[in-house]
Amino acid sequence: MSAALMQFVLFLLVTGYAVFLFARIVQRRFANVRLGRPVERKRKAAQGWRTLLVEGLGQSRLLHDPKSGVMHIVLLYGFLIVQLGALDLLAKGLTGRGLPLPGYEVFGLIQELTAVLIIAAAAYAGYRRYIEKLARLKRGWKPSIVLFFIVLLMLSVLFALAFARLEEVRPASGLAPVSSLLAAALGDWPQAAAHTGFEIAWWAHLLVLLSFLVYVPQSKHFHILTAPINLWLGRTDPPGKLSKLDLETEEVESFGAARIEHFTQKQLLDLYACVECGRCTSVCPANATGKLLSPMHLIIKLRDHLTAVGEEQAARRPSAQAWVVEDGDRPEVSVKGAEPEERPPLAGGIISEEELWACTTCRNCEEMCPVGNEHVDKIVDLRRYLVLTEGSMPAEAQRALQNIERQGNPWGLSRSARADWQLELEPYGELRVPTVRENPDFDVLLFVGSMGSYDRRSRKITLALVRLLREAGVNFATLGNEEKNSGDTARRMGNEFLFQQLCADNIAMFERYGVRTIVTACPHTLHTMRNEYPDFGLTAEVLHHSELLARLVAEGKLRPQHPLDERIVYHDSCYLGRYNGMYDPPRAILQAIPGVRQVEQPRSREHSMCCGAGGGLMWMEERSGVRVNEARTAQLLTAEPTLIGSACPYCLTMLEDGTRQAGGDTAIPVRDIAELLALSVWGPDKTGG
- b/e per residue 194-225 (b: at least 16 CB within 10 A): bbebbeebbbbbbebbbebebbbbeebbbbeb
Determine the average pLDDT of the residues in 524-546. 96
> Between the ranges 80-89, 148-157, 398-407, where is the mean pLDDT highest?
398-407
Q: What is the DSSP letter of 444?
A: E
Residues in Cβ contact with 374 at an 8 Å cutoff, skipping those fewer than 6 apart: 235, 267, 270, 366
> How many domains does the chain divide into?
3
pLDDT at 321: 37
Res 365: pLDDT: 94
Q: Percent of the chain, pLDDT > 90?
A: 55
Q: Can you give the pLDDT at residue 102?
A: 80
- pLDDT at residue 307 above 80? yes
Residue that finishes a domain, picked among 395, 423, 438: 395
* Band of residue 362 on the pLDDT scale cut at 50, 70, 90: very high
Q: Determine the Cα–Cα distance for residues 574 and 148; give it in Å rounded to an integer.
A: 40
Same domain, 634 and 541: yes
What are 620-659's pLDDT values in tens digits?
A: 988 888 999 999 999 999 999 999 999 999 999 999 999 9
Query: Same domain, yes or no, for 135 and 226?
Result: yes
pLDDT digits (tens, 9 = 90+) for 48-79: 777 777 777 777 777 777 877 788 788 888 87
Q: Give the pLDDT band (50/70/90) at residue 326.
A: very low
Nearest to 260 by CA among 385, 150, 148, 374: 385
Instruction: State the amino acid at position 221 in one-letter form.
Output: H
Among 351, 368, 395, identify where a domain stops: 395
State the greatest distance between any 2 C-alpha atoms of the chain, in Å, as a whole number: 105
264 near 37, Cβ under 8 Å? yes
Statement to judge: residues 276 and 402 lie in one domain:
no
Read off the pLDDT of residues 578-617 as tens digits, 9 standing for 90 and up.
999 999 999 999 999 999 999 999 999 999 999 999 999 9
What does residue 594 show for φ and ψ, rounded to 5 degrees? -65, 140
Rounded to whole angstroms, the Cα distance separating 363 from 372 reads: 12
Determine, yes or no, domain membership for 107.
yes
Domain identity same for 521 and 387 = no
pLDDT value at residue 656: 95
Query: Are residue 145 and residue 283 in the same domain, yes or no?
Result: no
3-class secondary structure, 348: coil
Q: For the chain, how many residues are written?
A: 689
Q: Which residue has the higher pLDDT, 91 or 50?
A: 91
Q: 366 and 468: one domain?
A: no
Confidence band of 322 (pLDDT split at 50, 70, 90): very low
Q: Which domain holds residue 265?
A: 237-243+252-318+342-395
How many Å apart are CA 348 and CA 386, to the nearest integer? 8
Tell me, what's the pLDDT at 511?
Answer: 96
b/e string for 557-587 if b means 16 or more Cβ within 10 A?
ebebebebebebbbbbbbbbbbbbebbebbb
**pLDDT tens readout for residues 115-151:** 899 889 888 888 888 887 777 777 776 767 888 888 8
Asked, for residue 337, whether it belongs to a domain, the answer is no
Is the pLDDT assigned to residue 400 strictly greater than 80? yes
Instruction: Report which of residues 608 and 330 the model is more confident about.
Output: 608
Q: Are residues 189 and 101 in the same domain?
A: yes
Average pLDDT of the chain is: 87
Write the CATH number for 361: 1.10.1060
* Residues 353 and 409 occupy one common structural domain: no
Residues 226 and 351 in one domain: no
Confirm whether 331 is domain-assigned: no
Q: Which of 351, 371, 395 is the last residue of a domain?
A: 395
Same domain, 472 and 543: yes
For the CA atoms of 380, 382, 383, 384, the dihedral, rounded to the nearest 10 degrees, stands at 90
Q: Is residue 10 part of a domain?
A: no
Confidence of residue 449 (pLDDT cuts 50, 70, 90): very high
Which of 89-103, 213-227, 328-342 is predicted most confidently? 213-227
Distance between CA atoms of 95 and 8, rounded to whole angstroms? 9
Question: 478 φ, ψ to 5°?
Answer: -120, 175
Residue 41's pLDDT is 63
545 with 520, same domain: the answer is yes
Per-position b or e across 516-537, b if 16+ CB within 10 A of its CB? eebbbbbbbbbbbbbbbbbeee
Distance CA 125, CA 134 (A): 11
| Same domain for 669 and 650 | yes
Binned at pLDDT 50, 70 and 90, residue 38 comes out as confident
Q: What is the mean pLDDT of residues 443-459?
A: 95
User: Is 56 inside any structural domain?
Assistant: yes
Give the contacts of 253 (CB within 8 A, at least 6 positions apart).
Answer: none
Closest CA to 232 of 48, 41, 33: 48
pLDDT at 382: 96
pLDDT value at residue 324: 32
Q: Is residue 638 part of a domain?
A: yes
pLDDT of residue 42: 63
What's the pLDDT score for residue 327? Answer: 35
What pLDDT was estimated at residue 510? Answer: 97
Query: 13-27, 131-145, 364-378, 555-569: which has the minimum mean pLDDT?
Result: 131-145
Maximum average pLDDT range among 273-277, 298-302, 341-345: 298-302
- Is 614 part of a structural domain of the chain? yes
pLDDT given at position 164? 86
Closest CA to 324 of 337, 334, 313: 334
Question: Checking DSSP bridges between strand 567-570 and strand 643-646, what pairing results, if any?
Answer: parallel
Whether the pLDDT of residue 1 is over 60: the answer is no
| Domain membership flag for residue 560 | yes
Does the structure show a pLDDT above 60 at 339?
Answer: no
> CA of 403: how far to CAs of 165, 399, 661, in Å?
81, 6, 29
The model's pTM is 0.87
| 381 exposure class (CB count in 10 Å sphere: 0-12, 13-18, 19+) | buried
Separation of alpha carbons 166 and 172, rounded Å: 10
pLDDT at 334: 32
